[in-house]
Amino acid sequence: MPLIIDSIEKHVSLTPEEKELFASKLEIQQHKAKTILLSPGEICQYSYFVNSGVLRSFNINDNIVEHVLQFACKGWWIGDMYSLISQKPGNLFIEVLEDAELVLLSKENQEQLYTEIPKLERFFRILIENSLVAHQERLMDNLSLSAEERFDKFCKRYPDLMQKIPQKQIASYIGVTPEFFSKMKSRILKNKI
Amino acid sequence: MPLIIDSIEKHVSLTPEEKELFASKLEIQQHKAKTILLSPGEICQYSYFVNSGVLRSFNINDNIVEHVLQFACKGWWIGDMYSLISQKPGNLFIEVLEDAELVLLSKENQEQLYTEIPKLERFFRILIENSLVAHQERLMDNLSLSAEERFDKFCKRYPDLMQKIPQKQIASYIGVTPEFFSKMKSRILKNKI
DNA sequence: TTTTGTACTTAACCTAGGTTAAGAAAGCAT
DNA sequence: ATGCTTTCTTAACCTAGGTTAAGTACAAAA
């Protein structure tokens, strides 16, 4: 599994033995689109690394409205962080949007690796730092930008996702209804002409 | 500085020598309310731990509107994570809201400590994990809850802050204007009677 | 080929929250 | 006490985005 190793070695370098030890703790799974890997109420046991395909994490509030927390495509990690670290029942769905090959790292194996290969604890520290910064920026964007500006940023940040996923998912990610998203999109088109 | 050590030992235990090494890397500062510790465009050099007092981090968008990213009172860490890890100019102000005693840990010292005392890298990994979970929850709340529900959660989560800071700051944190916040507050009062 | 379901669009109408403006209250310094 | 500044309130009016509902366009089953 070269992709996951490569992505780690962008931040820390591993010896061949360390790579082997690491690889021995991983599990590979193939999943079809629409598969639900995790549902609210369940305890998240894995960090998922995406070799190919697209996943999303989202929740559903009382009104049956979905809200997307994260998309993950090739080279990204996804999971229910809250449930994973607390080992309590989570609030998120994790769903496969496009047929995917995933690398699974169980909570226990991850903890073991932290002590067996401290460089991996560093890697995950850095990974989570970057994720925190991204979430902080998205939070501030939601507080200060209009829907159109958020959409604009989304297009620039995830240009490849636009083709791959239904636009209602993007609407949900930027925090508007599919109807408003559609209205907004046609307004943008008109203004460009 | 017992508070910062205590807060670390809730997650990892340190030997007396490690505590001493750690303490030797810290700097203590007193600051009056209204002091600006960091402004947009500057590069953040420190993680700030709050011994006493209250701080906030916030940004200002084009329209001269402030948005609060975080409050920090006794026992909390604050900083501009984006600028700190990238060592690029940041977007945040960090301001003292109530006279404060702070413990400063410089970026270089923090990196040194990670290798000198790997347990500290673990501590900060856990700290950041928790921060990430909190930001994820706040993000989802902003997508799915009304202003009143967000205010409700804020009151429950930070009951002590209500007395300490001007309510316009709380309005800014939950993402509404001070005027609307005031209207909402009086509506809530009426409904309780 | 028809059916069925899901995604997308459009339009009329609605509301949570924003804007503007003016006054009241409360700190804080002189 | 007296002004000066900042915070808070209220009210009239406004708008971004939500809701409801109906219709269109596909794609997957059957």
Contact residues for A165 (Cβ-Cβ < 8 A; gap 6+): A54, A56, A71, A97, A98
**Where would I find the beta strands (DSSP E) of A107-185?**
none
- Of B14, B4, B1, give the one whose Cα is nearest residue B122: B14
At B165 the pLDDT is 94
Q: Which two tokens stand for residue B82?
A: 């984006």
User: In chain A, positions 75-134, which contact chain B (CB-CB < 8 Å)?
Assistant: 81-82, 85, 114, 118, 121-122, 124-126, 128-133
Pick from B131, B136, B145: CB nearest A82 = B136
- A64-73 pLDDT, tens digit each: 899 999 999 9
Q: Which two tokens stand for residue B8?
A: 């670390």
A13 touches strand C (CB under 7 A): no
Nucleotide with minimal C1' distance from the CA of A189 is C9
CB hemisphere CA count around B33 (13 angstroms): 9
Element (H, E) at B71: strand B66-73
At B69 the pLDDT is 98
At B190 the pLDDT is 85
CB B44 within 8 A of CB B83: yes
CATH number for the segment(s) A2-115: 2.60.120.10
- Of A15, A24, A5, A127, give the one whose Cα is nearest residue A78: A127
Buried b (16+ CB within 10 A) or exposed e, B102-138: bbbbebebbeebbeebbbbbbbbbbbbbebbbebbbb
- Phi then psi for B42, rounded to 5 degrees? -85, 160
**Which residue is closest to A70 within chain B, CA to CA?**
B136
At B84 the pLDDT is 98
Contact residues for A4 (Cβ-Cβ < 8 A; gap 6+): A26, A49, A51, A103
At B21 the pLDDT is 97
- Of B144, B143, B155, give the one whose Cα is nearest residue B184: B155
Beta bridge partners of B57: B70, B94
CATH number for the segment(s) B2-121: 2.60.120.10
CA distance B125 to B117: 13
At A64 the pLDDT is 84
At B1 the pLDDT is 63
Walk along chain A (193 residues) and give the pLDDT tens digit of each residue: 689 999 999 999 999 999 999 999 999 999 999 999 999 999 999 999 999 999 999 999 876 899 999 999 999 999 999 999 999 999 999 999 999 999 999 999 999 999 999 999 999 999 999 999 999 999 999 999 999 999 999 999 999 898 899 999 999 999 999 999 999 999 998 887 6
User: Taking the domains of chain A in order of start, what are their residue ranges?
Assistant: 2-115
CA distance A122 to B192: 51
- Phi then psi for B98, rounded to 5 degrees? -140, 135
At B175 the pLDDT is 97
| A136 CA to centre of own chain | 15
CB B11 within 8 A of CB B126: yes
User: If you ran DSSP here, which 8-state letter would residue B79 be given?
Assistant: -
At A193 the pLDDT is 64
**Where would I find the beta strands (DSSP E) of chain A?**
26-31, 36-38, 46-60, 66-73, 77-78, 93-106
At B187 the pLDDT is 94
| Nucleotide C27, nearest residue via CA and C1' | B166
Share of chain B residues as helix, strand and coil, in percent rounded to the nearest 5: 50, 25, 25
Q: Which two tokens stand for residue A32?
A: 């079809």
Pick from A61, A85, A132: CB nearest B81 = A132
B167 touches strand D (CB under 7 A): yes
In this prediction, the residues of chain B whose per-residue pLDDT falls under 50 are none
